[in-house]
Amino acid sequence: MTLPKYSILFASLLIGACQTTPIRKPDLTIEEPVNYIWLKENVFTQCVYCHTSSGRVNLALYDEVMTVVERGDPLNSRLYQMVASGRMPKGGRLSDEHIAKIYYWIERGAPRR
């Protein structure tokens, strides 16, 4: 018995979607404080192509970013979960350093400046 080609494609997409990195504290420790302005200029530039359009969190606006951040709790923040798991940004993973900076920014209260 052979499966239709769409069934095989669907199965491969499901398997690919499930292969993400577990959400945990990063191995890197970031000593210097990071703020939203720095993240916006150095990290979120990879994300704003998709995340400035309607229907998505606009990462160019602090107040919108804060809708996916739990201050002081990176492991329960949607922003950190998406980048740490490798689900975002589409087309490539952020560097370990940038992921760690997002983690410690959230852990330290997600300051704007």
pLDDT tens per residue across span 21-34: 679 999 988 888 99
pLDDT tops 90 at residue 62 = yes
Q: Assess if residue 91 is contained within a domain.
A: yes
What pTM was computed for the model?
Answer: 0.78
Residue 18 lies in a domain: no
Cβ neighbours of residue 107 closer than 8 Å, sequence gap 6 or more = 72, 73, 74
**How confident is the model over 60-76, as a mean pLDDT?**
96
Query: Is residue 69, in this structure, part of any structural domain at all?
Result: yes
Label residue 107 by pLDDT band (50, 70, 90).
very high
Q: Which domain holds residue 58?
A: 25-107
- The overall average pLDDT reported for the chain is 85
Long-range contact list for 48-53, CB < 8 A, 24+ apart?
Answer: 50/89, 50/90
Residue 65 lies in a domain: yes
For 73-98, the pLDDT digits (tens) are: 999 999 999 999 999 998 889 999 99
How many structural domains does the chain have? 1
Question: Is 88 within 8 Å of 47 (Cβ atoms)?
Answer: yes
20: confidence class by pLDDT, cuts 50, 70, 90 = low
Residue 14 belongs to a domain: no
Query: Is 1 within a domain?
Result: no
Residue 9 belongs to a domain: no
Is 41 contained in some domain?
yes
